Structure 1
Amino acid sequence: MTDVCTIAAISLDSGISKEVLRKWEERYGFPGPERDASGHRVYAVHQTARLKLIKRLIDNGMRPSQLVPLSEEALQSLLDEQSIINSVPAMESQVVDELMALLQLHDRSALDDRLKQEVKRLGVEKFVMEVMCPLNGAVGTAWVQGKIGIRDEHVYSEMIQSLIREEISQVSKPDGWPRMLITTPSGELHTLGILMVNVLASLHSACCISLGPQTPIQEIPIAAADYRADIVCLCFSAAFPKRKILPYLKELRSVVPQNVEIWIGGAGAVGLDRSPRGIRLLLTLHEVTDAVRNYGRAKYSQRQRRPANGLRSNTES
């Protein structure tokens, strides 16, 4: 057999886990493997392009059941119709195009300078909302379409992370409130989500304690106690197996004290059929900033309802 690859290779190239590929094969008949002399799955290399399109559309909030049965042409049409870029102001859409051109030219210095200029022009909050979010989408789309390589995506990722970390260092509030512990679960490598939440929540007076990615579940309640967290915030990318999210959240809620809120978000959380009791689902960055702003008001209102003798009222039980 020629032009074939292993399930590990196609998983790495497409960003879709091996277990999900097997599930789709069983449920939808795609991707369709052949078998080598040892009986192991091998996949035609040309299937990778279709898988990449599916991955990008799932990242944008669509369900696998809507996408996997579609042809490559139909998937590309859907991707072309996505409004990631068109939903931002026209000027920022042009900025995203110009930044993408610099990335494709491999002009790292010019790209770095331009990103910093845009942060200075817009301020970090508008930059994250109006430039970084659509730019992340544009980079992913360009990779799916073969306009950039994975090496270019890595260059962008390193550059944007460095930029946002620098902004975080300037706006962090060690004495802020609420106190937010931010991380991803074990197996979730993506860090852009937690960085964006960190900088935006800091701008709205939160004290953010980032544990970075992949914190073991048993460490989270310990960290919440050590750092006196009011909120544990987790980000899930679309690459995280969706079937694992609900069991994970139920276990997390059982070990984190009930007085500590749990917030989740990210592309992986889009389309969840339900959310366990005591888990707050925030699907956009605007929802995150609104939740941070409103947290203090809600707690103040609860304190106002507390009886003078210090006992909890029925509404708080």
Structure 2
Amino acid sequence: MQHGGHGMEESYTIRAAERLTGLPQELIRTWERRYGVVTPERTATNRRRYSLRDIEKLRLIRAAIEAGNSIGAVAHLDVEGLRRMVSGSAFSRSVSTDHEAALPNAIVLQCLEKTRSLDALSLDRALTAAASDLGPARFVVEVAAPFLERLGEEWRDAGLHPAQEHLATEMVRAQLVRLLSANQAEADAPVAVVATLRGQVHDLGALLASVVAAVAGWGVRFLGSSLPAEEIAWAARASAARAVLISMVYPPDDPRVHVELAELRRILGEGFPIAAGGRAASAYAPILETHGITLVADLRELHALLDGIR
């Protein structure tokens, strides 16, 4: 990623600015041309690059206009003046909320650009800084999971080479492993066993769930991918687990899932808390219901479920 004339701040393309501000690209260009609201840096190929302060100013201008001001009345204001204008208005709360949401979105976009350039060191630093700034819970839910989703989308749309996707995936994995190790609960904490079923070889969803569980105060036994049901059940019994968490990412139509879940339920018994989540989990909803397994929609719901079990 290039740096503009704003110190060492990260810079953003106009497409990224559109996403982060909610303003159409053409409107941003018009405001630049007519009012000089921001002056983005230019690359060697004359492409715009916006600083984080540019992004903040555009967002504040949008909020001021939504509060009833004209662009002509606010275009000359600097960031501090815009903050004062929107402060205390009905829109100040939405601006604050938007800013909170914008930071993780910006981090995901930064990480995506570092992935494109195969800049492993900068990517690792960005992920580490995000985990530190946001905390492990927000990092997993708002950065790691969305970033992995974007990587998958870009790869499927041929926007990334497999090598780029693999590099970024492994960097995220390393970060999650560090977070899991750093957040393991005390010895007397309730235990959750986390794994994927036989034939389900993608385990990053299970690793995300493991960090969420650890942050929620659980002792986590992360078993990785493609384990037979009897092994998962054995680990649950051997560790006196209070819950088993199954990640289901791919494939969405594995005929073995019914057999594996039936065996898992048989060994652990009725009433033992088993939950399943992940991109493919909803495809197995009828099977999950048959075996009394809770379908978890997302990582926030998983956190709430674990709190309820405790």
Q: Given the two structures, how large is their TM-score scaled by the length of structure 2?
A: 0.64
Report the residue type matching 2:299 in the other structure. L
Match of residue 292 from structure 1: 306
- Among 154, 160, 174, the alignment partner of 1:142 is 154
Q: Does 1:154 pair with 2:166?
A: yes
- Deviation of 1:147 after TM superposition, in Å, equals 2.0
Q: Deviations over 1:234-269 (max 9, x none)?
A: 111132534443333223211223353211111111
Q: Does 1:197 pair with 2:209?
A: yes
Q: How does 1:125-274 map to 2 (within 5 A)?
A: 125-258=137-270, 260-274=272-286
Q: Distance in 1 between matches of 2:257 and 2:204?
A: 19
Match of residue 11 from structure 2: none
Matched-pair contact (CA < 8 Å) for 2:282–2:295? no
Q: Does 1:282 pair with 2:310?
A: no
Q: How does 1:19-98 map to 2 (within 5 A)?
A: 89-98=101-110
Matched-pair contact (CA < 8 Å) for 1:182–1:210? yes
- Deviation of 1:221 after TM superposition, in Å, equals 2.3
Matched-pair contact (CA < 8 Å) for 1:183–1:213? yes
Q: Does 1:104 pair with 2:116?
A: yes
Matched-pair contact (CA < 8 Å) for 2:274–2:294? yes
Matched-pair contact (CA < 8 Å) for 2:252–2:283? no
Report the residue type matching 1:142 in the other structure. E
Match of residue 120 from structure 1: 132
Q: Distance in 2 between matches of 1:102 and 1:166?
A: 21
Q: Which runs of 5+ in 2 are unaligned?
A: 1-97
- Deviation of 1:220 after TM superposition, in Å, equals 2.3
Matched-pair contact (CA < 8 Å) for 2:252–2:284? no
- Deviation of 1:144 after TM superposition, in Å, equals 1.6
Q: How many residues align?
A: 210
Matched-pair contact (CA < 8 Å) for 2:197–2:257? no
Matched-pair contact (CA < 8 Å) for 2:104–2:142? yes
Q: State the structure with more CA Rg.
A: 2
Q: How does 1:7-18 map to 2 (within 5 A)?
A: none
Q: Distance in 1 between matches of 2:262 and 2:223?
A: 21
Matched-pair contact (CA < 8 Å) for 1:178–1:292? no
Q: Distance in 1 between matches of 2:248 and 2:125?
A: 30
Q: Deviations over 1:87-111 (max 9, x none)?
A: x922322221111011001111111
Report the residue type matching 2:204 in the other structure. L
CA spacing shift, 1:273–1:226, aligned 2, 3 Å: closer
Percent of residue pairs identical: 24
Q: Distance in 2 between matches of 1:238 and 1:186?
A: 11
Match of residue 62 from structure 1: none
CA spacing shift, 1:269–1:285, aligned 2, 3 Å: same
Matched-pair contact (CA < 8 Å) for 2:194–2:221? yes
Q: Distance in 1 between matches of 2:130 and 2:172?
A: 12
SS, match of residue 201 in structure 2: coil
Report the residue type matching 1:264 in the other structure. A
CA spacing shift, 1:243–1:187, aligned 2, 3 Å: closer
Q: Deviations over 1:44-78 (max 9, x none)?
A: xxxxxxxxxxxxxxxxxxxxxxxxxxxxxxxxxxx
Report the residue type matching 1:284 in the other structure. D
Q: Given the two structures, how large is their TM-score scaled by the length of structure 1?
A: 0.62
Q: Distance in 1 between matches of 2:154 and 2:255?
A: 28
- Deviation of 1:151 after TM superposition, in Å, equals 1.3
CA spacing shift, 1:295–1:165, aligned 2, 3 Å: same
Q: Distance in 1 between matches of 2:135 and 2:171?
A: 18
Bigger relative contact order, structure 1 or 2 (CA pairs below 8 A, ≥6 apart): 1
Q: Which runs of 5+ in 1 are unaligned?
A: 1-85, 297-317
Report the residue type matching 1:154 in the other structure. H
